[in-house]
Amino acid sequence: MPYLELSLHSTEAEQPRYERALEDVGALSVTLLDADADTPAERAILEPGVGQTPVWKSLVLTALFDADTDALALLAALEAFDPGLDWAGVAFRKVEDEDWERAWLDQFQPMRFGQRTWIVPWNHDLPAEADVPEAAVVRLDPGLAFGSGTHPTTALCLRWLDALAAAGALRGARVLDFGCGSGILALAALKLGAAQALGVDNDPQALQASLDNAQRNAVDDRFAVYLPEDEPAAAYPVVVANILASALDALAEVLAARVAPGGRIALSGILRGQEPELLQRYAAWFDDLQVTSDEDWVRIEGVRR
């Protein structure tokens, strides 16, 4: 069925007020997008941190209402709920119902990372370059979770795992993917030679998407997922955490404890300019800390003392 879509621009500070107002007047859903992104695909994807909500400095909020909702009456209700907000820039349009996630997935194409790693949509033909014995192919359906390889934070981690595999550091290893989303990093590690992988995420939908993708790739017997509070404490030779800088800072002691002596860690989800504080924070436990960038994002990697 069709819907009435409302859209408006907001700052990070005002976003919670706008969202509360929209929900109070009956919004069926509220979506947050990056207003500064260059393309719709970039707006739609950002790896969230464990316990974090992805929020940008400038946002576009879109809310869906029943198709028969009176736009003028809705606007009056919003102004009455919070007259301190600027409702002058609100735009309305009618939209048809469709499977938005599937529509996005139709535009998701096979991608190569490093020497061997390929991320291929589950319903897409395997490219000729990936149809070779040495290719590490992950068949992926992101489902309702974050993580497809299209965002630089994920790409940075995939290339890191591919390089570890080339150096022989993944062969037979146990890998922890903290903030696993769709499971893409853990599954890539398994396809690249890891013996076992464990995924942690605070979103049950992410855990389900990870398990579904593990079954799709026939590695579910070597993969386990947990909510943060249920995660068994252990040390791993390889740990990757693609979350947000604030979460990486808050979880530094936890993540450091998860890396075995001599083990390797990769931290991503970090905007350029946020890395100095994290480098100082993680220097307490890690040597050989290095920074690699992709567009506006960076990855920090290091070796546990």
Q: If you write DSSP's letter for every residue of 126-151 in order, what string do you get?
A: PPGGG-STT-EEEEE--TTSS--S-S
On the question of pLDDT at 304 being above 50, the answer is: yes
The answer on whether 153 is annotated among ligand-binding residues is: no
The pairing of strands 286-294 and 297-304 is antiparallel
Task: Tell me the average pLDDT across 174-194.
Answer: 96
Phi, psi of 117 (to 5 degrees): -85, 125
Distance CA 241, CA 176 (A): 8
pLDDT tier, 43 (very low <50, low <70, confident <90, very high otherwise)? very low
Sign of the torsion formed by the C-alpha atoms of 52, 179, 114 and 280: positive
Task: With residue 105 as reference, give the H or E element that holds it.
Answer: helix 100-105
DSSP helix/strand/coil, 175: strand
The answer on whether 69 is annotated among ligand-binding residues is: no
The answer on whether 199 is annotated among ligand-binding residues is: no
> Position of tokens 């570890």?
164
Which domains occur in the chain, in start order? 3-97 (3.30.70.120), 107-304 (3.40.50.150)
Please write the tens of the pLDDT for every residue from 204-219. Answer: 878 988 999 999 999 9
The answer on whether 242 is annotated among ligand-binding residues is: yes
Check residues 43 and 26 and name the one with the higher pLDDT. 26
pLDDT tier, 39 (very low <50, low <70, confident <90, very high otherwise)? very low
- Beta strand segments in 97-217, E: 111-113, 117-121, 136-140, 174-178, 196-200
> Position of tokens 């693609």?
242
